[in-house]
Chains A and B, each alone.
Chain A
Amino acid sequence: MIADRNRIYDGFVSLEAGVDAGRAPVLIDPNQAASAENITFRGGRPNPRPGFRQLTEFFTNPEHGFDSQGVEFPEGSIVPGNLTAQYCYQNDVFQTILGYSPHNGEDCLMALIGGRLFKIVPMVNSAKVTEITVTDPNSPYLRSAGHPPPPVPGTYPPPPNDDFANQQFLTDPNGRVDGTCVGATTEAGEPPGTNTVWYRWVGLTTGTRQYFSVNQPGWTVDVYTGAAVNALTLVATAIAPIQVSFIQNAGTSYRVRVRPPNSGAAAEFTLKWNAGTPVELNYPAPYRNYRWSPIAFMVQADKFLIAQDGISKAIIFDGKVARRSNLEGMPDTLEVPTGTMMAYGMGRLVVVVNERDVAFGDLYGSHLDKQTDPADSIILFTERTFLAGGFDAAIPFQQGVATGIQFFPQLDTSTGNGQLLVFAERGAASFNLAIDRLLWQTSQFQILALLTTGLRGHRSVSAVNEDMWFRSDDGFRSFRQARSDSWGWAHIPLSTNVEQFINADDGMLLKFCSSIYFDNRIIATCSPVWNARTGTDLQPSLRGRVYHQGMVVVDFDVLSSFGTKYKPTWEGHWTIGNEFQSSLPDIKIAQLVTANIEGVTRAFAFGMKESRDGAGRVTYQNQLYELSFEDRDDFSGAIPWEIVTRAFDFKGGNQGTNQFTENELYDGDIWISEISQGGIAPETQTT
């Protein structure tokens, strides 16, 4: 399914143009045919590109869900269709994905989609998806306690307040009452609903808002006025846990009806009401992150997976239980601060907060005897009140906001004299962490390591062969090349060969770029598309999110011959959509990611799959794909590709040094090898 568009070889290594440097110049009659010395390029030995395979997801808790406020429904309760785990995974806005290897657990991918945390265990042709509940003892969301057990099957008499005429009177401005819908009926003339029971409450203070709620999620509380069951006027209605509220009139009788979503759900319940403020419920409820953030960040710090979207409290997952970061209490209980990009190295978790501040966690926490596992100290952020007497590190204003953060081996001083690099829009800062804690407190930790070649995509960093490649404003750059190659034109991006595919990229969307190192290639996304439409005519998975139309690829195999050192070669532009050839399926890539699954490095692309219904309408669903070695010949058609050479000018060699010689092209030869199965024509394969 991967199409190659414009592999461009311009004489770096793989396809050398000009006179073959290994031969002595041969003088021949300039009017004779030029010999093989004239123009030759030699193909490198690039590996076949990996194939692309769709992994079929299956869900272990597909019905798990959250309500429209982001509060979790209890397991086993009824969830409106759009809020189930499976629906969210397939249709909500993708935010981030990361490979995660917990201690004593399954290697997996972790993803934030629609503000919800998913664990994805890739198999051979499928993937097991589980939604993980993130607990939070300090949740701002409350849920009433307890869910009465369903009644034993049988016939039950109707409750006393089954009929409108037998409404139960509620007298206080605030209060609670226990009730049941078991055995309740629907009266003739009553507004639609099953197993309904009735209450009556009289307004006390004109102008005050009155709240009602029931402790059964998915149940409805209706408030009416009117004296007869067939002549009611609806005042307000809401499905729990959303509270129904209305402005009361003193002396008005309000008829409060409680009903389950269907007769099979009839059970006992507790109705609460309150004047002025919402009903106070008893339980903290888990909640999901903000649903519409188009980007979020993850990192694995020792045994933990940390997820951030810059808005919600950080999620800390240890492979079994996910919880929110504890930001309450004394400094020694201060955990991962809310932020965005993160890096983990040298026993420290580092978080970018407030766009340009850098907060450090520290192994110092392990001395506090509060942890049973020393790894637990990694998520303690003791440094926030330690550096310079109580501050985070801050990158200089002139560098702009932070755009990426990465631990990188300290190779030489050209890459800065620290191990942590924090990139910004217009430069990078280097932090030396290998110093004593007391020195660290007062260290001059900021060293400007790089100017003017700003990194744009935190996810775009790929550390390869003593260097870091990343997406910058104007293309792809390598950190060491920019730093070390000071005698040359270091500020030319390395990606000029593929500039036609990346120069038009929207600068605002570069932070969504991701890259992976896989199969001795750097594969990076390009051509991002932002769909800012929030109208209801568009399905949720397409609203307000970013996807990529292609990938640009650097191939290191082309040049890797023993004993020589050449520069890598851009392999060109890969597409997996129908941009290149209309017969290919339309697949849009959100993020590339690698993961070590059971000891095997596997590469994945999380994206969207196009499908069409019978009427030809297009829908997209989130879908996990794998780039795999086994699928090199991965679709039933031949892989399309293009190569564009640089311009040959016939200079040198037998033509002297004058490059301005006019020539008449009269022949060419090409040597081809490795003609392999990727190119079986569809008709051949189906017969």
Chain B
Amino acid sequence: MHSLKVFFRPDNYPSWVLWKDFPNKFSLIGQPQGLQAGGLPSARPGFAPRVPLGKPPNACDPISTSRRLRRGYHFQVKFVGQGHMMIEMFRLHAQRLVEKSRSIETPR
């Protein structure tokens, strides 16, 4: 079984925020090391199309900006996995926010 963790961070936030954890989520098709007639391996590479990551947690940066961390101008994503898998595609969904003409001053 393969595991995958997805993290994100907005706007150069120094820490990674855990978005989704898939412990032992992905696996081969068939039984690893299992043989079928003729000694051929029965296992095939597994696949997992369009796995949703769900809504990111409502984490916030409590120390410097008090911003909700799933709001941002640009986002970076980190995948940490165990086991061989290939990430074919990946996309983010975001909702554009209507900005105020002036930013709120960063609290001190």
Chain A residues within 8 Å of B, Cβ to Cβ:
15, 30-34, 36, 38-43, 45-46, 48, 632-633, 637-650, 655, 659-681, 684-685
Contacts and interface: CB of A to CB of B under 8 A. Distances in A.
A650 B71 CA distance: 12
Nearest to A20: B91
B38 interface: no
B88 A666 contact: no
A665 B93 contact: yes
Contacts of A678: 83-84
Nearest to B41: A677
Contacts of A31: 95-96, 98
Contact of A665 (B32, B46, B92, B99): B92
B96 A663 contact: yes
Residue among A15, A42, A660, A665 with the highest chain B CB neighbour number at 10 A: A665
Contact of A639 (B49, B51, B76, B84): B84
Given A662-B73, A670-B6, A672-B47, 9 more contacts: A31-B98, A41-B89, A649-B74, A666-B55, A667-B52, A669-B52, A669-B89, A672-B48, A680-B1
A33 B45 CA distance: 33
Contacts of A34: 93-96
Interface in B52-104: 52-56, 68, 70-99
A681 B24 contact: yes
A43 B89 contact: yes
Contacts of B49: 671-673
Given A45-B86, A675-B26, A670 B94 contact: no
Contact of A675 (B27, B56, B92): B27
B3 A671 contact: no
B75 A665 contact: yes
A616 to B, nearest CB: 28
B50 interface: yes
B87 A43 contact: yes
Top 7 A-B residue pairs of the complex, sorted by shortest distance between their CB atoms: A679-B83, A678-B84, A675-B46, A638-B82, A663-B94, A638-B83, A668-B53
B93 A679 contact: no
A31 B99 CA distance: 11
Nearest to A651: B74
B77 to A, nearest CB: 5
Residue among A15, A40, A666 with the highest chain B CB neighbour number at 10 A: A666
Nearest to B49: A671
B83 A675 contact: yes
A639 B83 contact: yes
B35 interface: no
Contacts of A685: 32-33
A43 to B, nearest CB: 5
Residue among A633, A641, A642, A676 with the highest chain B CB neighbour number at 10 A: A676
A666 B72 contact: no
A575 to B, nearest CB: 14
Nearest to B54: A667
A38 B91 contact: yes
A650 B94 CA distance: 8
B94 A643 contact: no
Nearest to B47: A673
Contacts of A644: 76-78
Contacts of A632: 84
Contacts of A679: 1-2, 26, 82-85
Contacts of B51: 669-672
